[in-house]
Amino acid sequence: MSMNLDNPMTIELKRHLEERELTAAEHYLLSACKQGVRLDLVQRDEYEHTGGSRVGGHPDLPEHTAWPVTKDGTKMTFLAQLNLAEIAPHDNAQLLPPQGMLYFFLGIDEPAYNIEHQVIYVEQAGTLQLQKPDGITALQEEDEDREEFRPYTVSARSSLELPNYAYADEEALDLEDIESYYDLVDELADSSSRNWGCMFGYPVGQHDDAEVEAALMLLMNEHYDYSAERSLEKLTTHFGGDRERAEQEVKDTVMLLEIDSSDPVGFLWWDCGVIHFFMRKEDLLKRDFSRTYCSLYSS
């Protein structure tokens, strides 16, 4: 997922580095930069058309699709649907399926780790119908004052995703003006009030261990104990002592989608936090969305 040196986006990144006099960090950033997809709000969705990319509101589901439920039988809350024919052309890393529908549902967002959720991929959607849940859903049950999320149509754009504050190796950056670098990170992300989601970038957080947490659960069904080294030791043991394989598995744990708090939609994850969905790159390339991990970060 890092930059291809022959990709036009590499030229764009080099231009940004030259403009901000950050060329001393070029080698590191060319290897660390990811090709992501940013998702923006377009306008309120009045449900005049089915099958488009939408965030909030209600989903357009194939006929006879069962609404996802939590372990206790409560209906999950719908978050977003992505029409991949609209989104995939902006995926320069070519990780997403070229067509089909991708749906994201959430259970109660507490605690912040291993949150109940479901990601549904429908390769051939066929006839889609707007579906509304029968009764309240998980997030409304948790907070009776929480209103239904407001529906918006969605647009996508290719993005350059540089390591953020949690993930940047400042020694490798070796920059006198480190603030100029973080300004560039924000500029490339273009995280305006219209931006509600990001695919395949660096997770927002305080530490660079979100993928370790996800990999531990996805591969071993174990909760993270907030020690990346102990978790890597467990994964190494899981792979028969192959430390390189364990580290590669963590690198290949991709952030499928990050959903930010959004005033227009009504998303508020704790104190203006974000929701993360992770999966293994191997599963993504096989179009197998049955094994994903969901967590929440809030400052």
Mean pLDDT of the chain: 93
Task: Tell me the per-residue pLDDT of 259-284, one tens digit each, with 9 for 90 and over.
Answer: 999 999 999 999 999 999 999 999 99
Mean pLDDT of 207-226: 96
pLDDT of residue 4: 54
pLDDT of residue 135: 87
Better-scored residue on pLDDT, 17 or 9: 17
Ranges 32-46, 146-160, 212-226, 240-254: which has the least confidence: 146-160
Mean pLDDT of 164-193: 89
Confidence of residue 34 (pLDDT cuts 50, 70, 90): very high
Task: Tell me the per-residue pLDDT of 90-102, one tens digit each, with 9 for 90 and over.
Answer: 999 999 999 999 9
Task: Tell me the per-residue pLDDT of 97-138, one tens digit each, with 9 for 90 and over.
Answer: 999 999 999 999 999 999 999 999 999 877 899 999 988 999
Q: Domain tally for the chain?
A: 1
Q: pLDDT at residue 1 above 50?
A: no
- % the chain with pLDDT above 70: 96
In a domain, 1, yes or no: no
In a domain, 126, yes or no: yes
Residue-number span of the structural domain to which 178 is assigned: 8-297
Ranges 46-50, 184-188, 261-265, 292-296: which has the least confidence: 184-188
In a domain, 3, yes or no: no
Mean pLDDT of 10-39: 93
Strand pairing class (253-260; 195-199): antiparallel
In a domain, 284, yes or no: yes
Confidence of residue 191 (pLDDT cuts 50, 70, 90): low
Confidence of residue 143 (pLDDT cuts 50, 70, 90): low
- The CATH number of whichever domain residue 31 belongs to comes to 2.30.320.10
In a domain, 2, yes or no: no
What SS3 string covers the chain?
CECCCCCHHHHHHHHHHHHCCCHHHHHHHHHHCEEEEEEEEEEECCCCCCCCCEECCCCEEECCCCCCECCCCCECEEEEEEEHHHHHHHCCCCCCCCCCEEEEEECCCCCCCCCCEEEEEECCCCCEEECCCCCCCHHHHHCCCCCCCCCEEEEEEEEEECCCCCCCCHHHHCCCCHHHHHHHHHHHHCCCCCEEEEECCCCCCCCCCHHHHHHHHHHHCCCCCCCHHHHHHHHHHHCCCCHHHHHHHHHCEEEEEEEECECCCCECCCCCCEEEEEEEHHHHHCCCCCCEEEEEECC
Q: pTM value?
A: 0.94
Q: pLDDT at residue 173 above 60?
A: yes
